[in-house]
Structure 1
Amino acid sequence: MDKRNTEQDFISAFWQLYEKKPIEKISINQLCQIAGYNRATFYNHFENIYALFDKAVYDILFPVKRNVFSSQNFYNLLQKDLMGSVLLTYFQQQDKYIELLFKRQNHYVLSDKIKKEFLLLISENVKPNTKVYEKIEILLEYQISAVLGVINYWYQKGKLISEQDILQKIYDISTKGVLTSLKTELQSIYEDSKA
C-alpha cells in the first residue's frame, strides 16, 4: 500500500473519531484499530495525533490551495469573481469537516492555514517585512477573523440560512464593506417603515 493511501486511511479514521469526541480523547490505539494498521505504521507517517490533525485540516484546505493559492498573481485573482465561486464550492464539499472544527472550537487551525497560504501567495509579489506587507497582514487578519467569526455564528445559530446564502452574505460584506452593508440593511428597514 502506498504512503498516500495509508495516510488517507488514518485521516478517515481520525474524522470518524473526531465526530464523536475531542482530539484530546482520541487515542492512537483507536485510530489504528479503525484504520486497520498498527502503532508502528501510525508513527511511520505521523509524529503524534496533532500532526495527523494538522494533515487532516491541510487536506480539507487543499482544493482551495490548488484552485486559488496556485494563482501566480493575487491581485489579478481579486479582480475576477473566481474567489467567491471557488470558496462556495470548497465550503459545500468540506462542510461536514469544517463544521466539526467549529463545533470542537478548533477552527483556529483552519484560520492559521488560510492566513499562511494567503501570505505565501502575497509574498511572491510583495516583499515581506515591508510597510505594504504589514498592511496586507492586518487586512488579512481582519478579513479572515471576521469571516470565520460569521461562520462560527452561523453554526452556533443552527444554520438558519443556507450555505449559499451565508457565503453570499459574507462575500457581499467583504466586497462592499461592513459599514456600506449595514447602511444598506438599515436603509431598507427605514424605507419600509415610511411606506
Structure 2
Amino acid sequence: MKKQPQITEKTKQNFINAFCQLYLQKPIDKISIKDITSLAGYNRSTFYLYFSDIYTLRHFVENDLLDYVRINLAKMDGNTNTQQSVLERLIRLFEMKEIELKAVLGEYGSSNFLRRLKKEVTSTIEIASNFVPGVDPNSNYFSYLLEFNVSNAISLFQLWLQRDKDLTKTELVTLSYQLYNYGVQGTKV
C-alpha cells in the first residue's frame, strides 16, 4: 500500500469524501460500508485497508480536522490583532476543509466534535482575547463571553454552509462582527 503514496492518499480521500456526502444525508448508524464503497468506487476489501469500520472513519475525519485547525491556528497567533481578522482567517481556514466540516457540523454530526472544535479555537489566549476584546482574561466573565462568541461564530458558519454560502465571506464576517459588538437589535443588514 505504501508503494504509491499519491494513489493511497487519493483512495483514502475518496473514502472520506464518500462518507461525508452520506453523513450529510443520514445518521452514521444508517450508513453502510457498502454505501461508502459504492459511492467511492472501490470494494470492501480496499476500504478495510484504510479503516476498520465506519466509526473509525468518522473518528479519523474528526481528528484530522482538529489537527488541521490546531496547526493552522498556531500559525495565526502572532498575526491576528482584531476580531474581524480572526473571523476572516477562521473562515478561510474552515473553507479549506469545507466538505468534512459541512458533514461533521451538519444535522447528523456529533456534539462532542463541536465541543472539541470550540476548545481548539479558544485554546490560545491571543485568539481568545480577540473574541472578547477589552475583557480581562482573568475576569470571571471572560469564559462565558468567550463561549458565547465562539459558539455564535461556529453556529453562523454552520448555517452559512447549510445555506450554500448565500452571503459573501465579507458579509458573513461583517454580520458576525456587528452581532458581537451591537447585538441583534444594533446590527444593520
Instruction: Specify which of 77, 85, 88 is matched with residue 85 of structure 1.
Output: 88
Higher helix share: 1
1:141 aligns with 2:147: yes
SS across alignment from 1:184: coil
Question: In the aligned structure 1, how far is the partner of 2:53 from the partner of 2:30?
Answer: 13
Can you list the C-alpha shifts for 1:3-54, whole angstroms capped at 9, x where unaligned?
6444323212212333443322111233234352434x54453343122123
Q: Which has the higher contact order (CA 8 A, sep 6+)?
A: 2
Question: In the aligned structure 2, how far is the partner of 1:107 from the partner of 1:95?
Answer: 16
SS across alignment from 2:176: helix
1:30 aligns with 2:35: yes
TM-score (normalised: structure 1): 0.60
Structure 2 gap segments, 5+ residues each: 126-136
Can you list the C-alpha shifts for 1:63-82, whole angstroms capped at 9, x where unaligned?
543432345xx4x4552554
Closer/same/farther in 2, CA of residues 43 and 120 from structure 1, 3 Å limit:
farther
CA contact 1:13–1:35 (8 Å) conserved in 2: no
Moved more, 22-31 or 157-166: 157-166
1:48 aligns with 2:91: no
Closer/same/farther in 2, CA of residues 25 and 59 from structure 1, 3 Å limit:
same
Q: How many residues align?
A: 171
CA contact 1:46–1:52 (8 Å) conserved in 2: yes
Name 1:8's counterpart in structure 2.
13
CA contact 2:73–2:121 (8 Å) conserved in 1: no
Name 2:72's counterpart in structure 1.
67
Question: In the aligned structure 2, how far is the partner of 1:168 from the partner of 1:58?
Answer: 30
CA contact 1:154–1:160 (8 Å) conserved in 2: yes
Name 1:192's counterpart in structure 2.
none
Closer/same/farther in 2, CA of residues 165 and 61 from structure 1, 3 Å limit:
farther
Instruction: Specify which of 160, 172, 188 is matched with residue 166 of structure 1.
Output: 172
Name 1:104's counterpart in structure 2.
107
TM-score (normalised: structure 2): 0.61
Structure 1 gap segments, 5+ residues each: 123-130, 189-195
Name 2:118's counterpart in structure 1.
115
User: How far is 1:60 from its partner?
Assistant: 4.8
Report percent identity of matched pairs: 24
Question: In the aligned structure 2, how far is the partner of 1:153 from the partner of 1:13?
Answer: 22
Name 2:128's counterpart in structure 1.
none
